[in-house]
Chain A
Amino acid sequence: KAGVTQTPRYLIKTRGQQVTLSCSPISGHRSVSWYQQTPGQGLQFLFEYFSETQRNKGNFPGRFSGRQFSNSRSEMNVSTLELGDSALYLCASSAEDPGQGGDQYFGPGTRLLVL
């Protein structure tokens, strides 16, 4: 089975712009979670989508949003980019919830640099 894929792998944007990142989960996985990784804050949960519905949301401003399509592919969008949004954005998919013993598989991430 192919793993979790994320596109693009690298992205450079300027402040005020918006960006869309894409994630394709492992085939058959209906849950997709997004995380932001920075040197200062570490790995922080952004949100999770399950069967096209947002099921969980982390403590991030409304500029961060996402969606999931019927084929389980997910996108996240960040509007009005700020310098502090520079980070590695990781997507993960799972067939069963980690909170019920399932495994969450991570993609390679999208590295976003905001200038």
Chain B
Amino acid sequence: AQSVTQPDIHITVSEGASLELRCNYSYGATPYLFWYVQSPGQGLQLLLKYFSGDTLVQGIKGFEAEFKRSQSSFNLRKPSVHWSDAAEYFCAVALYNQGGKLIFGQGTELSVKP
């Protein structure tokens, strides 16, 4: 079945430590891939996306993500986490010719320890 999986429901990291959030997808063709962040009580903010080309994409707030076709993964990384990064992170996919429909993973909640 077509799906987007974020295996980690909740992750806690110390401020200044590196971060990697995992995302796997299961689709016949390579979808277009997105990472969004949601702070409490807020809507979703787009961090970055993969459309084509270079498999390492840079986003806002110092985030980057790497697309690995062989692993059907699109993991989000940040070298040094700040307390303000505490939020929920969602991986999403869009399929060609599916218009404005995004399919989301279940989300990973990030907590940051001082």
B11 at interface, CB cutoff 8 A: no
Chain A residues touching B, majority SS = strand
A99 at interface, CB cutoff 8 A: yes
Q: Are B99 and A56 in contact (CB under 8 A)?
A: yes
Tally of B interface residues using CB under 8 Å: 28
Complex Cα distance A33/B43, Å? 13
User: Closest B-chain residue to A107, C-beta based?
Assistant: B43
User: Closest B-chain residue to A9, C-beta based?
Assistant: B41
Complex Cα distance A33/B98, Å? 12
- Segment of B66-74, B75-83, B101-109 engaged in the interface with chain A: B101-109
Tally of A interface residues using CB under 8 Å: 29
Q: Are B100 and A103 in contact (CB under 8 A)?
A: no
The residues of B with any CB-CB pair to A shorter than 8 Å are: 32, 34, 36, 41-46, 49, 51-52, 90, 92, 94-107
18 contacts between A and B (CB under 8 A): A31-B99, A31-B100, A35-B102, A42-B105, A43-B90, A43-B104, A48-B101, A90-B43, A94-B100, A99-B101, A101-B52, A103-B46, A104-B34, A104-B100, A104-B102, A105-B46, A107-B43, A108-B43
